[in-house]
Structure 1
Amino acid sequence: MNLDEEVRLYTTNTERERTENLATLYSIIVSLEYLERAYVRDSVTGKEYAPACIKLLAQYKSLMKLVGDEIGGVEAFMKRFKMDHPAALHRLSVGVPATVEHSAEANDGGAETGKWVAETTQSFITFMDALKLNLRAKDQLHPFLTELMSGYSRFKGSGEWEGRGKILHCTALAPTLAPTLAPTLAPTLAPTLAPTLTPTLACALPLVSDDPSTPEQSLHARAISQID
């Protein structure tokens, strides 16, 4: 054995692709760990943190479609390579940035709040429509839940709203489920989430125009009708 000879990690293109995918996953976990630490230490602002975190989470989800079956899950991967990155593991498990998980509230004016009301209501309608269309794959439902949770967390005081915890639970639960949800599971999300959204929409209503012809009021009315 020649000790000066370089050790090759692969001999075929397939092995090379596999090795590079695992290396990319490793780098995503490490990057996410440092990003979480930087946010906790206030080295980066929420506006800088959130898009970077969302990008890393999206890259992770895409990569797991390629290597997920092989590595047996991110926890098994981290254990195999002796990776001690608890912050990254938690963020990957939750699936949304800390600004969403812990409701990083903003104090912007009424015009901006009215925009958020419209966007959040539309996210709720989109999610309800997805359930009515019998979408069952977690890759189909999780983005809608994430978008809904992101909008929900923008409002001042949303951390105290009853529905927020249930939405967050469903958002974090979705990535851990099988690729296709059990036929009886997805329909239960609607009756579970719908009542919790009612206080949200009721609180948001005074923040938008009283004119029923405005987009915000129109969206709000449609969402309430879907709940009822």
Structure 2
Amino acid sequence: AHCRGVGDQASRFAETLGLPPALVDDLGLAGDLHDAGKADPRFQAWLYGGTAPPAAPLLAKSGSLDRLDRQAVASARDLAGYPRGGRHECASVQLLRAYPGLLATAHDPELVEHLVGSHHGRGRPFLPVIDDPGAATLDASFELFDRRLRLRGPHGLERLDSDWPERFARLQRRYGWWGLAWLEALLRLADHRRSEDERRMRQEETDHE
């Protein structure tokens, strides 16, 4: 629901700004797919406070962790086994590369992949090198939008031969220095606004109970 909400918000931003229909569609698709990497079981355990219940539904945001309590957040991450500095957006891109069909409707698949990988401001052009020994044995199967996906192994996007920096340069030539940054900002702000709306709705539900 969060992913769909971000996709809808990004599309509305782009349409209101008068962007071409192809960019409206691609921003919406990037929003739909931006958090797919959070399906990593370790990330899910983190969102659940350190341990995910059996057959627990996938979360995009934690309903139990106070984000302002940094010690509690760090303790939950360590308990879950998610690496410090790990980036879920890298796992999202990993899934896009493993399942090209996810980008079948994209007008510019390179753009959608870049927007997904950079939606927290990293990957311009390098993604961080993270010590993640647990990635070697990562093997998780899950369902997203009625499609069965499998997340396996390290993403490798921090490598210089991953084509990520070259892709960033190609997109800058295609959309311009500021044009690419603007498209990134639209998705990032759509994510922020949707998250704010969800927090407000949860608070309203709590107030009514």
Is the TM value for this pair above 0.5? Answer: no
Greater strand proportion: 2
Asked which structure has the greater RCO (Cα within 8 Å, sep 6+), the reply is 2
Highest CA radius of gyration, 1 or 2? Answer: 1
Greater helix proportion: 1
